[in-house]
Structure 1
Amino acid sequence: MKVLIHGRNLELTPALREYTKSKLEKAIHHFGDMVKEADVHLSVAKNPRVPQQTAEVTVFANGTVIRAQERSQNLYASIDLVSNKLCRQLRRYKERHSDHHHSPGHRASITPTTEEVLEDKSINGSLVEGKEAKLPKPGIRRKYFPMHPMNIEQAQHQLDLIDHDFYLFKEAESEQLQVIYRRKNGGYGVIQAKN
C-alpha cells in the first residue's frame, strides 16, 4: 500500500512518519486487497491557546473514497483515533459490499494504482504561451468528481464513509442533483430542487 504523509505547521520527523505508517498499516491490514493508496494530512493549530492537533486520512478502496478525521491535544493520540475510526469505516464498507450483496460472479471493481492511471505523454508546444496566470478568488475551492446516479440509501452510505456533514449526489430516478445532510438532532435530511 502506498502511504503519502503531509504535514502542516509541524516538522515531519522520521519517528512521526514511521508511527503514522505503522498505525495505518495495522488498521488496514485486513483490507489490504481493497486499499491501494492512503493520503494522510497531519496538522497542528497555529494558535498556541488552542492545543488542537489533527490527523486526517483519505483512502481509496475499490473506487470509493473513505475519509476519517480526528482531533485531540496530542498528535499521536489523534493518529491512534483516526486509525481506529478508519478501521471501523472500512469494516462497514466491506460488510456492505461483500459478495452476498451482489449477483453471483459480480465483484466491485478494483481501484487502479496511481502508476497505472498516469501515462507518459509528450507535450507539443508551450502550455503557458498566450495565457495569463489568474488566481482563484480567496476562500473558494473547487472539487470535481464523477457523479454516478444513486438512490438515497446509497448516498447516505457514502455520507457515512466520507465523514462530512453533507454529500451531493445525482438521484438515480430523476437524475437531479440532491444534497443529503446530517441533522443536528439526529437523522438525515435531503435538499432537492422544487419542480
Structure 2
Amino acid sequence: MRYQISGKQIDVGQALQTHVENELNSIVEKYAERPTDAHVIFSKSASEFVCEATVHLSTGLTAQAKAHAHEIYAAFDDCSEKLEKQLRRYKRRLKDHHRDRAEPIELSQASAYILASESDGEESEPESLQPVIVAEMEHRIPSLSVGEAVMQMELAGAPVLVFRNEGKNGLNVVYRRDDGNIGWIDP
C-alpha cells in the first residue's frame, strides 16, 4: 500500500509517519483485502490539530475520516478509529450481501464539458451575473449495484454519487435527501 503523509504548514516527523503507517496497516489488514493507497493530512487550526485521512480500496470504495484534538497523535488516533469503524461496517455489509466481487469495479471515463450558449440576437446576461466555474474535474464512473453505490457514498461522506447501474447498464444517481434518507434517480 502506498502512503502519502503530509502536513499543512506543520512538520510531520519520522516517528509520526511510522505510527501512521503501522496503525493504518493493522486496520486495513483486518477489514480490507486489497488497499491501494492512503492519504493522511495533518494541519493546525487555532489550538487544535486536525487529521484528515482517506483510504482507497481496489474495489473502488473510498473511506474518509476527519478528527480534531489538542495533540497531533490524539487527532490521528481519533481519525483512525473513525476509519476502522467505516471499514468494519463495509466488511459487515459485504458479508450480509453474500456476494464477493472477484474483479475490481469497472470504471467508465466521464468528462465535464462547458458549452457556450447560443446567441439568438437576444441580450446576454452581464458578466457579473454569470456563474464562475471554480473547478472542472474528470471523474471515473463506477459500475455498481444500487446497494454498493449507497455504501460507497456513505463511506466517502459524499452527498451524491453518479454510477453505472450493473442491472440496467444506465447512469443512475444516489443522493442524501434533506430528511436524511437516501434518494435514487433511475432515468
Give TM-score, length-normalised by structure 1: 0.65
- Matching residue's letter, 1:70: K
Partner AA of 2:8 in structure 1: R
Could you tell me how far apart the structure 2 residues matched to 1:29 and 1:172 are? 29
Which ranges in structure 2 are unaligned for 5 or more consecutive residues? 106-131
Residue 65 of structure 2 corresponds to which residue in structure 1? 69
Q: How much identity, in percent, do the aligned residues show?
A: 22
What CA distance in whole angstroms lies between the structure 1 residues aligned with 2:161 and 2:35? 24
Which consecutive unaligned segments of at least 5 residues does structure 1 have? 112-136
Distance 1:161 1:108 in 2: 20
Secondary structure, counterpart of 1:97 in structure 2: helix
Please name the residue that 2:76 is paired with: 79
Helix, strand or coil: the match of 1:44? Answer: strand
Cα distance in 2 for residues equivalent to 1:157 and 1:168: 13
What's the counterpart of residue 152 of structure 1?
146
User: Does structure 1 retain, via aligned residues, the 8 Å contact 2:146–2:165?
Assistant: yes
SS in 2 for 1:88: helix
Structure 1 residues 107 and 73: CA distance shift in structure 2, 3 A: closer
Instruction: Check conservation: 2:35, 2:55, Cα contact below 8 A.
Output: no
Note the alpha carbon deviations across 1:143-170, whole angstroms, 9 max, x for none.
321431x343221122122222221112
RMSD: 3.1
Distance 1:109 1:191, change over 3 A: closer
Deviation at 1:189, TM superposition (A): 2.0
Match of residue 171, structure 1, among 165, 174, 186:
165
How far 1:191 sits from its partner (Å)?
A: 4.4
C-alpha contact (below 8 Å) 2:64/2:83 kept by paired residues: yes
Q: Which has the higher strand share?
A: 2
Secondary structure of 1:30's partner? helix
Q: Which residue of the other structure, out of 51, 55, 62, is the alignment partner of 1:54?
A: 51
Matched, 1:162 2:162: no
TM-score, with structure 2 as normaliser: 0.67
Residue 82 of structure 2 corresponds to residue 88 of structure 1:
no
Could you tell me which residue of structure 2 aligns to residue 40 of structure 1?
A: 39
Q: How many residues align?
A: 160
1:13-36 deviation digits (Å, cap 9, x = unpaired): 11221221122123223246x134
Displacement of 1:98: 4.1
* C-alpha spacing 1:10/1:141, structure 2 compared with 1 (3 Å): farther
Q: How far apart, CA to CA, are the structure 1 residues paired with 2:85 and 2:2?
A: 20
Whole-angstrom CA distance in 2 between matches of 1:185 and 1:146: 26
Contact 1:66 1:89 in 2 (8 A): no
